[in-house]
Amino acid sequence: MGMQETPPRAQTTGPAPSSAGAIAQLCAQICAEKGVQHFIISPGSRSAPLTIALSRHPQIACRIVYDERSAAYVALGMAQQLGQPVGLLCTSGTATLNYGPAVTEAFYQQIPLLVFTADRPPEWIDQQDNQAIHQTGLYEPHCRGSYELPVEFNHPDARWFATRILAQAIDHCQAPTPGPVHINVPLREPLYTPVTEQPAPPIIQTMAHHFQLTEPAWTELISLWQRARRKLIIGGMHAANPTLQASLRALSADPTVAVIGDITANLYPDGTQLYHSDMILGTRNAAMIEQLQPDLVITFGGQYISKYLRGLLRLHPPRAQWHLQLEGNPVDTLQCLTHVIPMRPVDFFPALQQRIQPSSRGDYGAFWQALEEQTAAKLTKFLQTAPFGEFQAVQQVMQALPADSHLQIGNSMPIRYANFIGHIPGRALAQINANRGTSGIDGTVSTTVGAALASSALTTLITGDLAFFYDRNGLWQPDLPKNLRVVILNNHGGGIFQIIDGPNQLAPDELRTYFLTPQPLTARRTAEDHQCDYYFVDKRTDLTAALADFFAPRARAAILEIETDMQINTQVFEQFRALVAE
């Protein structure tokens, strides 16, 4: 028997013509009622009913970003700053796959993204229909939850079911641990049929709750705390929080306590005055390492930038390590974990502070403070005398940043430079962020655009050239926020591979061809294309002169390109590593 031809697609009859519009309208209603106020939308046909419903809702602000990969990072940047879910919407097919990198970053950075993907009806998957791929569970395992709405609203239970799914998904996006949630929405044609507004069924509201410890658990922890003579509190990637900062500062008054953190922990200067822990931990002095080794380590937040931190504590572990995390597999980055504490840092540290008796004797905190003063002086002298390059440029930019502004830092070398520099006295920033969830370079520009859209504060990105050119579609938007500033460190290639151990030992031709990937690009035409003010410098004095004007209020976004020599950058950093080892 021969294969039968696929029959023509049947015309929809009965209540089906309004199904797509009714589903879309319900999505907009529930999102608005649950407080989702912002959506980033990429144009498409299958998603048209959702686009229309969201854009017409008076409580939802929609923004068009054409490139789905950039759109997802823009939403991530907004949610990162707002601390609340931001919605994403795209059409079906491969468009949905472009959300993947940002969804993964949001998962590891614990940022609430509400991802809507329009889809074909299930019977047309794998039938050679246009833009039809497998979208159910598309972002697993890198999302907090995956949901799919019913195709039809013929029965009242379908509307009740969809309402329940939407409410559950939005709640799941925020608690107990924030992160991305995927809602796949199969839509049957016709897509543009008008629909009569209907009230949504009752929406389930999940009340906020916080994890707490039992009194016996506190008794055990306090006993361990009191016995430890050297206590090191370490902050990983974490949003700025004044209550947390005040509590950590109070705890560090205990002479047996030192508080350190990566630059993305947002602890400087109110949470700790140990700004150069990354340099301090890089020492190879055996006597100093012995004095630095803690008895008790308490960690919180996300990933650590400092490789020196991981290396030292893995080789010289404490007797105990407590890690604060609400749920999930225990995070044992330092390979010395003994206790998982299911509390938020902003709840745990004030509670700890109230229960402990501060020590009257000890020199651990004072030892760290003495090293901090020595290290800060050595770094300042080093950067003043070294040849001009990326390291000095990052310091100059950070010195010029207006107080209370926001800073985004690109991966590879920019985040390493910034973490070594730590904090500029008198330049307390409101928030410092980096896409360190997965440490990729693929969405730095777009994330910063999103962050600038979410705040009226000046928002600056410091990034390398490859990351900028890879993501310059982040600037391809109807109008860029005028508080956006982009600083590009252009050494015309992947300079980090001349610095990190491994690639720097390859044959020169092999290193240049497959790792350094030299490129001749500049950002001048990109700035012109996207109507950004443009600055170019390649000298220390020119950079000093340009920065004041670059950061001044202006009518449109601005780009500052700093051109440096890759070989000089490598030599300076090698000299710096030798200084750290001392």
DSSP for 232-299? EEEE-S----HHHHHHHHHHTTSTTEEEEE-GGG--TTTT-S---HHHHTT---HHHHHHH--SEEEE
> Domain total for the chain?
3
Q: Do 61 and 163 fall into the same domain? A: yes
- Per-residue pLDDT of 120-168, as tens digits, reads 998 888 888 888 899 999 999 999 999 999 998 888 898 999 999 999 9
In the prediction, which pLDDT does 358 show?
Answer: 85
Q: What is the DSSP string of 448-492?
A: HHHHHHT-SS-EEEEEEHHHHHHTGGGG-SS---TTEEEEEEE-S
CATH number assigned to the domain comprising residue 72:
3.40.50.970
* CA–CA distance, 20 with 23 (Å, rounded to integer): 5
Q: Do 412 and 557 fall into the same domain? A: yes
Q: Do 237 and 162 fall into the same domain? A: no
Among 528, 534, 581, 525, residue whose Cα is nearest residue 562:
534
pLDDT for 314 beyond 50: yes
Domain boundary among 186, 205, 226: 186
The CB density around residue 22, as the number of other CB atoms within 10 Å, is 23
The arrangement of strands across the sheet holding 113-119 comes to 61-64, 38-41, 86-90, 113-119, 181-186, 145-148
Q: Under a CB-based contact definition with an 8 Å cutoff, are residues 331 and 325 in contact?
A: yes
> Which two structure tokens, joined as six digits, stand for 546?
């340009």
pLDDT for 14 beyond 70: no
Q: Do 391 and 362 fall into the same domain? A: no
Q: Do 452 and 347 fall into the same domain? A: no
pLDDT bracket for residue 15 (50, 70, 90)? very low
Domain boundary among 314, 343, 369: 369
Q: What is the mean pLDDT of the chain?
A: 92
pTM metric for this prediction: 0.93
Q: What is the mean pLDDT of residues 295-302?
A: 97
In the prediction, which pLDDT does 18 show?
Answer: 57
The CB density around residue 148, as the number of other CB atoms within 10 Å, is 18
- Domain range for 110: 16-186
Residue 364 lies in a domain: yes
SS3 553: coil
Residue 223 lies in a domain: yes
pLDDT for 54 beyond 80: yes
Residue 129 lies in a domain: yes
In the prediction, which pLDDT does 10 show?
Answer: 39
Q: Do 351 and 483 fall into the same domain? A: no
pLDDT bracket for residue 13 (50, 70, 90)? very low
Q: Do 329 and 395 fall into the same domain? A: no
Q: What is the mean pLDDT of residues 425-452?
A: 95
Q: Do 242 and 148 fall into the same domain? A: no
pLDDT for 357 beyond 80: yes
Residue 248 lies in a domain: yes
| Long-range contacts of 538-545, Cβ-Cβ distance < 8 Å, separation of 24 or more | 538/562, 538/563, 538/564, 539/388, 540/388, 540/392, 540/396, 543/393, 543/396, 543/397, 544/396
Distance between the two ends of the chain, CA-based, in angstroms?
82
Q: Do 21 and 141 fall into the same domain? A: yes
Query: By mean pLDDT, which of 36-45, 133-142, 151-160, 509-518 is the weakest?
Result: 509-518
Q: If you search the block for the tokens 């400092």, which residue do you land on?
A: 306
What value does the CA radius of gyration of the chain take, rounded to a whole number of Å? Answer: 26
Among 375, 140, 393, 356, residue whose Cα is nearest residue 256:
356
